[in-house]
Amino acid sequence: MNTSRGALLRKQFDLTWSLLDYHVQRLEPGDFLWEPAPLSWTVRPAADGTWAADWAEDEPDPVPVPTIGWLSWHIGWWWSVATDHVRGRAPRERAEITWPGDGEAAVAWLRGLRDDWLVALDGLGDGDLDATASFPVPDDPGFTVADTLAWVNAELMKNVAEIGQLRLIRAAQRSATGPL
């Protein structure tokens, strides 16, 4: 990606990633499954030993408040599928993408996804940015690979903000009341 548009998307991604890295470096093990509200979505051990995320095909009203564990799974899910699309692989189904099982493993997983994403970005040629993309908008012939890259940046920024806010709330509560 040598174009100025590609360079801008990469700089934006690097900035967003640095914000995620800032927050995950400060998370404690108990932060990942802390439920910030009575109505929360989280990740739970499944019968087969994997960790599954709470999910509803139709978004509930009110929307449950996600845990940091759920948000880290959510990043892993959409980012895995985005990488599959950009690399021309068959995209995985949501249920195939499970949470690693603890916070440290989740952070390592996200760092590995970042590395995979950077390899995918480095493999794009100048003309690839204008190619039609089917993810995350499958029915828009005007949606391009560059649009997918911009979407990844926006989605990551949104999830980083959610993780950061939950981390700050939990830390503030912990300091006000002692250990949670």
The answer to whether position 135 is within a domain reads yes
Half-sphere exposure of 156 (CA within 13 A, CB side): 28
Residue 50, phi then psi, degrees to nearest 5: -85, 175
Single-letter residue type at 120: A
Which pLDDT value is given to residue 1?
Answer: 64
Alpha helices in 25-144 (DSSP H): 68-86, 103-122
Tokens of residue 17, six digits: 């990633």
In a domain, 50, yes or no: no
Spatial separation of the C-alpha atoms in residues 153 and 50, rounded to whole Å: 28
Distance CA 172, CA 40 (A): 19
Q: Tell me: the pLDDT tens digits for 114-167?
A: 999 999 988 888 789 999 998 998 888 899 999 999 999 999 999 999 999 999
Q: Is the pLDDT of residue 2 over 70?
A: no
pLDDT at 180 over 60: no
For residue 37, is pLDDT > 70? Answer: yes
Q: What is the per-residue pLDDT for 179?
A: 58
Place 178 in a pLDDT band, splitting at 50, 70 and 90: low
Residue 74 lies in a domain: yes
Q: Is pLDDT of 32 > 70?
A: yes
Structural domain includes residue 138: yes
* Domain contains 45: no
| Tokens linked to 58 | 């139709």
- Average the pLDDT over 157-179 and give the result: 90
Say yes or no to pLDDT of 15 above 60.
yes
Q: What is the largest CA-CA distance in the chain?
A: 56
User: Is 55 within a domain?
Assistant: no
Closest CA to 80 of 91, 95, 69: 91
Which residue segment(s) compose the domain that 168 sits in? 4-38+65-177
pLDDT at 5: 84
Q: Cα angle vertex 116, ends 111, 13, to 5°?
A: 70
pLDDT tens, residue by residue, 61-70: 999 999 999 9
pLDDT, tens digit (0-9, with 9 covering 90-100), for 46-57: 999 999 999 999
Tens digits of residue pLDDT in 68-107: 999 999 999 999 999 999 999 999 999 999 999 999 999 9
For residues 97 and 83, what is the distance between their CA atoms, to the nearest angstrom? 13
pTM more than 0.85: yes
Structural domain total, the chain = 1
pLDDT of residue 139: 86
Q: Answer whether residue 134 is part of any domain.
A: yes
Q: What is the structure's pLDDT at 176?
A: 74
CATH code, domain with 99: 1.20.120.450
User: Is 122 inside a domain boundary?
Assistant: yes
pLDDT at 79: 96
Task: Count Cα neighbours of 23 within 13 Å in the Cβ-side half-sphere.
Answer: 27
